Amino acid sequence: MKNFAGKIAFITGGASGAGLGQAKVFSKAGMKVAIADVRQDALDKAIGEISAYSGCKTSDVLALNFDLTDRAAYAAAADKVEATFGGPPHLLIQTAGVNSFGPIEASTFDDFDWVVGVCFNAVVNGLLIFVPRMIKAYANKTEFHVATTSSMGAFMAGSGTGPYSAAKSAVNNLMYSYAEALKPYGASATVLCPGNINSNIGNAEKYRPAHLKNTGYHVSEGTMKHLNSVHATGIDPVELGEILKEAIENERIIVLPDHNTGEQRAAQLRGLNEQIEAYCLTGEERAAKMAELMKNFRPMPAGDDQDAPPPMMWTVPEGAEAFGQGRKDIEWLADSKKAK
């Protein structure tokens, strides 16, 4: 997909962070943009920000407040997009996401239902609701494309982010499948896998639904403050949006957004794959291989700061000392993994 002017984009999580950056970029490219979020105040603010950045009319931005895991509400939102802009989106970008940190063995059903619900099930909802409409309207007549914002966490084990890493791995595979499936219709798919974004995902726990509040993780204002300090150093959302735009224009299926060359990005991915390959080895062989890999491991820095330390090695602020730990009242959890 190379021509965006006059077309329609639908972006989840579009009221802030990466989604808002994408909305600004594609609005500036001439698209009418529908943004979805669960926070009305953020949606109201985003309309003005998008218009100010791109110079578009505010009527070219449609704000939709609904829960992405609610299929009936999602279908109603799709109807509203068509009624407002005259058709389904030519570009579907699913960026909404949530995360929480803690030992995977301390996870509750609520932890999985919340994180996997938003990060994977909602992506399925968007694809199943929108893609048939997009095919009917545009197949082999007009360019269209689907994209999802995943994570570098999709390529690695995440014992402290189990639900999130599992969901993102599933999202990646899903998008590879759609990239193949959409070929007969003249379309394709892209999965964006950033390492760190300057976003407010650190506050996600504040918006966890009341019926899914039973977490096995230690969560506090301090832990959220810590996450926000980490994400504040991430890639700028508009810059990330421009990277996604270039990827869509050039039919890239996987996007690893950093400041390295294409070959360096491929080398990073090979290194991550080697970690998975090490799981095939025996215990001693695996330990030796992992030690070797870690010597060469360099996390992707934020921006141009090549000397930036990996976020999780930064000083933990006061009040967040138990970041990534489980609740202290889980009696069977190892003491080393419990919040003190």
Residue 178 bears catalytic tag: no
Q: Out of 74, 138, 164, 217, which one is annotated catalytic?
A: 164
Per-residue burial over 316-339, b if 16 or more Cβ lie within 10 Å, else e, is beeebebbbbbbeebeebeeebbb
What's at 184, amino acid-wise? P
136: tokens are 């009917």
Phi, psi dihedrals of residue 162, rounded to the nearest 5°: -50, -55
**Who's near 77: CB < 8 A, 6+ residues apart?**
34, 36, 64, 66
186: left (phi over 0), alpha (psi -120 to 50) or beta: left
CB 180 within 8 A of CB 120: no
Q: Token match 């545009």: residue?
A: 138
DSSP assignment of 213-262, as one string? ---SB---HHHHHHHHHHHTTSB-HHHHHHHHHHHHHTT-SEE--SSS-H
Q: Which residues are catalytic?
A: 164
